[in-house]
Amino acid sequence: MKRPYSRWPSTLPLSNGGTVRGSASDDLPNWAPGGDVRDVREGWLTTAAAMYSIPVLVSAVVVAVLATYVGEADDRWFPVLSSGIVILALLCSCALRDAEKSRARLSVSEAHYGGVFERAGISIWLEDWTAAAKAVLDLRKAGIRDIHAHFTSRPDMARELRKKIFVRDVNSFTVEMMGAAAKSDFIGPLDRILPDTDQTFVQWLVAFDRGDRFFRSETHIVRPDGSVMDCLFTAALPTDMRGFDKILVNCLDISEYKLQQDSLLSSRTEMARGARTSMIGPLTASISHEVNSPLAVIVTNAEACQRWLERSVPDLDEARSANERVIDAASQASEVVHRTRSFVSDAPRHVLRIDPSVAIREACLLVDRELRELRVSFAILMSDDLPTVRADRTELQQVVVNLLLNGADAMHDIRGPRDLKITVAGTDAELTVDVCDRRQDFTPENALIVFDPFGTARSTSGIALTICQDIVVSHGGRIWAESLAGGGASFRFALPVASE
């Protein structure tokens, strides 16, 4: 079933007209020149001082000069001195009055903002992403151009950075929606509520790097009681460096919708399975009837051939004729099996030219919930210019799903992070998909027998991998496994690129 929201960066043009500014040597996000983060109150509280600073300074200098030399002057300087003092006092009074007005306006604005923040009927989070912005900026200055690939290849670095992102405040609706006792359950590092299985954190960094103005995605967060909630969040992203310390994130609970979506998909699957099951009886009878006939012919002619050969003078012509009838009957039985296999398959194969990036991302979403329950996180690394392939979309996605679940299942005993990395690359000749996991004790010998359904410790994994092999080979491709230095396994398959 199609998922309504995407968790990968948008390919649409940005609302501000471009991704980054500058030349190749100055390839920085458009928010980069903003400088250090400052409190927005500075603008409110210093406006009056800026307006009156020059007049007050001039008046003060005049009064100081007159006060120094007044003793040496005649009485005509006293009115001037008095006037200067009065002007200075008036200017200072106006400056203080306007400063008080600015403070009052600020208090009203804060009260209005606080009222909207607290009374909004949607969950609102105030988050500080300054550390993320600085990390992206430092990588850009260091010459890193692909932020997504950088953090995908370094999941531990992304985890450390996530600890530096802070939730500064949440509104009352958030406390109620999350079933929390108080706001303090959320204040603190983001990794308290964002689990390792989340796939969106790196996409935030990509959006910062691109200079996106808005960000929207699905994710799941951990409630204070330890349960997981599916949510859709949106945020307007800053246009300068000062805005990263106060990013407002709107969060919508879509857990019920996701459950209904999964339930509908499960119901459809069960209906299809029931329909196939109801056909087993008639189908079995039909197969028995069709296969028994050629089998009887095979047995009869094989026995006749044996008798012709056992005669005192073997009749080779009759034996040869009986053997030919055996071959014909065996071919007929094989055809029955072939037709039956085609009939009971889930759907006819539809080989079309497809975009592998879309198909593979959809496959990852299909098993997102299962991977989450197994506490497995995954990251996808794709080239921008992947070639198209001619394949059955459903079968290609089945291969990716089987490899992901195989990797997740193999890591169920390990402690620490359980990471899967999917790398997709293409050449002029073929498209290669690589699924790497962190399983332990995967040796080169294991790689030789892993596609044998009875060659692994877990027969279910072996059967799933055998299905992958059948699908890939039927598409003219190849599939293999390798053990990784330092631990882990790599499962790769390659498909030929679609010809023009």
Q: Provide the pLDDT for residue 311.
A: 85
Is residue 304 a contact partner of residue 320, using CB atoms and an 8 Å limit?
no
Q: For residues 419 and 413, what is the distance between their CA atoms, to the nearest angstrom? A: 13
Q: Provide the pLDDT for residue 478.
A: 92
pTM score: 0.57
**Spacing of C-alpha 387 from chain mean position:** 22
Number of helices and strands (H, E) in the chain? 16, 15
351-496 topology per CATH: Heat Shock Protein 90 (3.30.565)
Q: Give me the amino acid identity at 459.
A: S
Is residue 242 a contact partner of residue 38, using CB atoms and an 8 Å limit?
yes
Going by the DSSP 8-state scheme, the letter that residue 70 receives in this structure is: G
Secondary structure (DSSP) of 292-356: HHHHHHHHHHHHHHHHHHHSSS--HHHHHHHHHHHHHHHHHHHHHHHHHHHHHSSS---EEEE-H
As averages over each run of 10 residues, the pLDDT of the chain (500 residues) reads 42 44 55 53 48 55 57 54 63 71 68 65 90 92 87 87 92 88 90 85 90 88 88 89 90 84 70 58 61 77 86 85 82 68 58 88 81 86 87 88 89 86 90 91 82 55 76 90 87 88
Closest CA to 250 of 160, 379, 117: 117
Residues 6+ apart with CB under 8 A from 32: 137, 140, 241
Q: Provide the pLDDT for residue 220.
A: 87
Tokens linked to 25: 């040597």
Cβ atoms within 10 A of the Cβ of 395, count? 20
Is residue 217 a contact partner of residue 203, using CB atoms and an 8 Å limit?
yes
- CATH superfamily, domain at 20-25+120-259: PAS domain (3.30.450.20)
Beta bridge partners of 497: 389
Beta bridge partners of 163: none
Q: Classify burial at 235, counting beta carbons within 10 Å of its beta carbon; exposed 0-12, middle 13-18, buried 19 or more.
A: buried
Secondary structure (DSSP) of 371-392: HHHTT-EEEEEE-TTPPPEEEE
Cα-based distances in Å from 172 to 154, 199, 234: 36, 27, 18
Tokens linked to 15: 């609302």
Our CA dihedral for 333, 335, 341, 344, rounded to 10 degrees, sits at -90
Residues 6+ apart with CB under 8 A from 276: 344
Q: For residues 498 and 180, what is the distance between their CA atoms, to the nearest angstrom? A: 53
Residues 6+ apart with CB under 8 A from 225: 179
**Spacing of C-alpha 301 from chain mean position:** 63
Domain boundaries, the chain: 20-25+120-259, 41-115, 279-344, 351-496
Q: Provide the pLDDT for residue 14.
A: 45
Q: Provide the pLDDT for residue 17.
A: 43
Question: φ, ψ for residue 425 (rounded to 5)?
Answer: -140, 160
Strands 430-437 and 419-426: what pairing?
A: antiparallel
